[in-house]
Structure 1
Amino acid sequence: MLPISYSSLNNSRVNRDGSSRYRRFIPEYFRRIFHYPQMDIEYTFWIMFYLCFNPSRVYKITYWHKQTKNQWARDDPAFVAICVFFMAIASMSYAIAFHYLSFFHIIKTIFWAVCVDFISLGLVVATVGWWVTNKFLRVSAHNHSVDQNVEWLYAFDIHCNSFFPLFIILYVIQFFLLPILLSSSFLSTFLSNSLYFIAFVYYYYITFLGYNALPFLQHTVAFLYPIILIFTFYVLGVVLNINFTISIMRFYFGQ
């Protein structure tokens, strides 16, 4: 057997300590963002497809995920990474379409879309949903069952799932319909406001499905209540001829 020096043992211990310290401060979810081969891109696109056409099917696999991974949340950041990429491409397209051609304006538009519209608002929405469900909607555990809580990361997953169809409607479909939607006619207002109505109703419907999939929550229908307010704004916008697309484009690009 070859002799092992004290310095090599010490270096090995330092490396192990450093690695464990690295793993403590940077959870696996975030580490995998920087390791493309560890992300399941094909499965992520499968989820995105069914979120647009059959979202209830997506949440049928959450129970299976809980049984195999012992957590409700996804441990793969591929969904977030792909959404960020799509958001960057879409926001850059809008910036170019509205003649924000300088590098600064394009980066500013991308930053606002990714960091504010998607991530920052997502963190707020996920935190509110996580707190409300654990505080008010969670069913107390029985004597022979394990007390469960809604994971914050699962609440963020729900936001991401709900956001993707909204992205398709308000970032992609709306982009190609801009020549029609930016008109001042009543038909343009009706089409524009209908797009926003469908997008936000779908967002809250998928949010409801996400929390309703957890067997230890009750009264999750509360996540459908904002649809009443959305419908009210939709009707008022159509009646008063307030075009939501024009209003949003003015906010972002001063058009």
Structure 2
Amino acid sequence: MLPTTVNGTARRGPHRSTSLLPTYLRRIIKPKQMDLEYTFWLMLQLCISPKTAYRHTSYHKQTKNQWARDDPAFVVICCVLVATAATAYCVTFSDGLWHSVLTVASAVLVDFLLVGWAIATAGWFLANRFLRKKNVHSHAIEQHVEWMYAFDVHCNSYFPLFILLYVVQFLLSPLLLWRSFVSAVLSNALYAIALAYYHYLNFLGYSALPFLEHTEVFLWPVAGILLALPFAVLSSFNATRFTLSIYFG
């Protein structure tokens, strides 16, 4: 959201983001206050038309006067979906109840939330420290990226990655786990597409903010992914076998 001016100074984004937390957390325990219909629509748009999804971010700013969502439905649904998919993997590949519980908890708390917190914090810091446009007029209100918005961007980017690396990978796992060149190519391509799309959506999320510039830096990891892909294929590295071996041995 745009910070308001108090005593001639701009109120910074992190403070305003913190003020959202009580309402945000309160709505988590009140499912009736969550807009599930809009959330599922947004998830669909992130997969088929991500620019449409971020156009609605601008509408949200106009109506709520903040960029970040005040509805935790997206995070809650993602947690449920990740836990469900991780349970399916555990039923298929795990050999113990306690190990399965730890794997599901790790998928939700570490892979989605903790890693997301770290990525959102890095993006929030990078955007506020280096990418904000300089105010050419002294009377202009200084704008900052809200941390909650940065986390929203991560969540938005994570959902298509979840579809590819949890759902599609699980369905294709009998093929992807073969010890063959074709399986390695398909597995590495799946991971490359998922990770590249994740960073592309990060780019769209930050470029939707009119007070940022040079947001193409969020596309730089895509170049690294494309450069690493041929080496992974030529070395017969199989991303699916490697990932599942970490979780299930």
Tell me, yes or no, whether TM beats 0.5: yes
The one of 125, 131, 137 aligned to 2:125: 131
- Using the TM superposition, give the Cα deviation of residue 101 of structure 1 relative to its aligned residue in structure 2, in angstroms: 4.1
C-alpha deviation, 1:100, in angstroms = 3.0
Distance (Å, rounded) in 2 between the aligned partners of 1:253 and 1:158: 30
Cα distance in 1 between the residues matched to 2:196 and 2:21: 35
Counterpart-to-counterpart distance in 2, 1:170 and 1:207: 17
Q: Would the aligned equivalents of 1:141 and 1:148 in 2 still touch at CA under 8 Å?
A: no
Map of 1:164 onto structure 2: 159
Note if contact 2:192-2:226 (Cα within 8 Å) is conserved in structure 1.
Answer: yes
Query: Which AA in structure 2 matches 1:79?
Result: F
- Of 225, 243, 247 in structure 1, the residue corresponding to residue 242 of structure 2 is 247
Aligned counterparts of 2:153 and 2:95: Cα–Cα separation in 1: 33
Q: Distance in 2 between matches of 1:168 and 1:25?
A: 29
Cα distance in 2 for residues equivalent to 1:25 and 1:239: 49
Find 2:40's aligned residue among 16, 35, 45: 45
Superposed, which structure 2 residues align to 1:203-222 within 5 Å?
203-222=198-217
2:72 pairs with 1:77: yes
- Tell me the distance in 2 between the aligned counterparts of 1:182 and 1:51: 28
* In the alignment, structure 1 residue 120 sits paired with structure 2 residue 114: yes
1-structure distance, mates of 2:154, 2:49: 17
Distance, in Å, in 1 between the alignment partners of 2:143 and 2:20 is 25
Instruction: Identify the match of residue 169 of structure 2 among 171, 174, 182.
Output: 174
Q: How many residues align?
A: 231
Task: Name the structure 2 match of 1:90.
Answer: 85
Structure 2: runs of 5 or more not aligned: 1-18
Q: Does 1:57 align with 2:52?
A: yes
RMSD after superposition: 1.5
Q: Deviations over 1:4-41 (max 9, x none)?
A: xxxxxxxxxxxxxxxxxxxx796101110000000000
Listed one character per residue, the Cα deviations across residues 103-143 of structure 1 (whole Å, up to 9, x for unaligned) are x1221011110011000000000000000000000012232
Q: CA deviation at 1:47?
A: 0.3
Which of 183, 194, 200 in structure 1 is aligned with 2:195?
A: 200
Aligned counterparts, 1:143-158, within 5 A: 143=137, 144-158=139-153
Instruction: Measure how far apart 1:232 and its partner are.
Output: 2.0
Identity of aligned residues (%): 51
CA contact (8 A) 2:94 2:100 kept: no
Residue-by-residue CA offset, 1:135-172 (whole Å, 9 max, x unaligned): 00001223243211000000000000000000000000
Aligned to 2:186: 191
Q: 1:209 to 1:32 in 2, by over 3 A?
A: same
Alignment partners' CA distance in 1, 2:20 and 2:136:
35
CA distance in 1, matches of 2:20, 2:37: 29
The structural deviation recorded for 1:198 is 0.3
Which has the larger displacement, 40-49 or 64-73?
Answer: 64-73
Change over 3 Å in CA distance of 1:115–1:199 after alignment to 2 = same
| Aligned-partner SS, 2:71 | coil
- Any runs of at least 4 consecutive aligned residues in structure 1 with deviations exceeding 6 A, and if so which? none
Aligned counterparts of 1:78 and 1:212: Cα–Cα separation in 2: 24
- Cα distance in structure 1, aligned partners of 2:94 and 2:129: 47
For residue 224 of structure 1, the aligned residue among 216, 219, 222 is 219
